[in-house]
Homo-oligomer: A and B are copies of this chain.
Amino acid sequence: MVNPPTIKDVAKAAGVSVATVSRVLHNLAGYSDKTKQKVLAAVEELGYQPNAIARGLVNKRTQTIGVLFPDVSSSFSSDLLRGIEDVANDKGFSVIVCNTAEDGKRTMKYLQVLREKQVDGIVFTSEFLKEEYYEAIKAMGVPVVLVSTQSQKHVIPFVKVDDRQAAYQATDYLIQKGHRQIAMIGGTKTDKIAGIPRLEGYRQALEDNGIGFAESRVAYGDFALDSGRRAMEKLLAEAPPFTAVFAASDEMAIGAMGLALERGIRVPEDISVIGYDDLSIARMIFPPLTTIHQPLTEMGRLASDMLISLIEGAGQVSSRIVSHRLVERQTVRNWP
């Protein structure tokens, strides 16, 4: 098997120097139309394709970005990925995906690989940005943007929704529908990004409407399906009676609904449910889930766009609080 043709081969075939070939390939000035034709003909004939690795070595730019997800296979991540990939591709960048599995070691290893591979920038999603990660990224000297997470300590551009407000809105909606006894299935209790703010929004909405907050009406999960089931089970067994429940993720909402249905509790007739995320499954289930929509694909697009601006020299970009919205489907009813 013969080696692929290099710029040298093209130069030889066209009877010019490599510098000239490079010039015409980049549409720089400095050659006659005749030479241009010769070069192009040679490129065509040899089936020449530039080697991006060699180019990267010289330019110190690889036109590649790295994206870290806690779980690439989640619906949440893949919606994000689609947006990121889409604009990256548009702007001539490739994306390397990394599955951190929320594991510190693995994440650090990935960061190292991305550094060695000389990616031009990084998007970090959904997880708390540990100091260790921050240091590693800072050391590589490339821009980062955060998605669905945020750093208190450092100023790093991010794109996310206002979790507190969205949770407030979800809860308030239930109240406007006449519910007064509202339970919550929260995310991880210590999660500063998606756990605590959503709980606070819930609590605030209750209080603003003169309803007392009761710790006994909240159960905690980890955002995943099964934890929603378990939380619902706990609520049903131990909490004071309630007519509606706000879950901090669609998956938990769906898990909770499944458990309720198994027990002969109807949604929304007996209990209303509202979720959070608007994953594509939210509208696939029956009854379709009322939930807080996060524009994930759009958020991915934005993040990609911001990152590439930074890579291409923008001094700074502003973070974006993107707007969520409540989508009414069929799991919440007027009470009574």
Interface residues in chain A, defined as those with a beta carbon under 8 Å from any beta carbon in chain B: 1, 4, 47, 49-54, 56-57, 62, 64, 71-75, 77-79, 81-82, 85-86, 89, 94-99, 110, 112-113, 115-118, 139, 141, 225, 251, 254-255, 257-258, 261-262, 280-281, 283-288, 297
Among A71, A72, A86, the most chain B Cβ lie within 10 Å of the Cβ of A72
Q: Which residues of B contact A89 (CB under 8 A)?
A: 98-99, 110
With A and B bound together, what is the CA distance between A107 and B116 in angstroms?
Answer: 28
Q: State the oligomeric state as a number of copies.
A: 2
With A and B bound together, what is the CA distance between A301 and B94 in angstroms?
Answer: 22
With A and B bound together, what is the CA distance between A73 and B82 in angstroms?
Answer: 6
Q: Which residues of B contact A286 (CB under 8 A)?
A: 257-258, 261-262, 285-286
Q: Which residues of B contact A283 (CB under 8 A)?
A: 225
- A281 nearest CB neighbor, chain B only: B281
B74 touches A78 (CB 8 A): yes
A85 touches B112 (CB 8 A): no
A23 CB to nearest B CB, Å = 19
Q: Which residues of B contact A75 (CB under 8 A)?
A: 75, 78
Q: List 27 A-B contacts (CB under 8 A).
A: A1-B141, A50-B116, A52-B117, A52-B118, A53-B57, A53-B62, A53-B118, A71-B82, A72-B81, A73-B82, A74-B78, A75-B75, A75-B78, A78-B78, A81-B97, A82-B99, A85-B98, A94-B113, A94-B117, A96-B97, A97-B97, A251-B284, A258-B285, A261-B286, A284-B285, A285-B285, A286-B286
Q: Which residues of B contact A225 (CB under 8 A)?
A: 283-284
A112 touches B49 (CB 8 A): yes
With A and B bound together, what is the CA distance between A64 and B254 in angstroms?
Answer: 38
With A and B bound together, what is the CA distance between A258 and B280 in angstroms?
Answer: 14
A43 CB to nearest B CB, Å = 13
A121 CB to nearest B CB, Å = 15
The 7 closest A-B pairs by CB, nearest first: A73-B82, A78-B78, A52-B116, A73-B78, A258-B286, A261-B286, A52-B117
- A250 nearest CB neighbor, chain B only: B284
Q: Which residues of B contact A77 (CB under 8 A)?
A: 78
A4 touches B141 (CB 8 A): yes
* Set B96, B118, B287: member contacting A96, Cβ < 8 A: B96
With A and B bound together, what is the CA distance between A139 and B1 in angstroms?
Answer: 11
- A49-B116, A258-B288, A281-B285 given; name 4 further pairs at CB < 8 Å: A1-B141, A57-B57, A71-B82, A72-B81
A258 CB to nearest B CB, Å = 5
A49 touches B284 (CB 8 A): no
Q: Which residues of B contact A99 (CB under 8 A)?
A: 82, 85-86, 89
Q: Which residues of B contact A117 (CB under 8 A)?
A: 52-53, 64, 94
* Set B62, B86, B141, B258: member contacting A284, Cβ < 8 A: B258
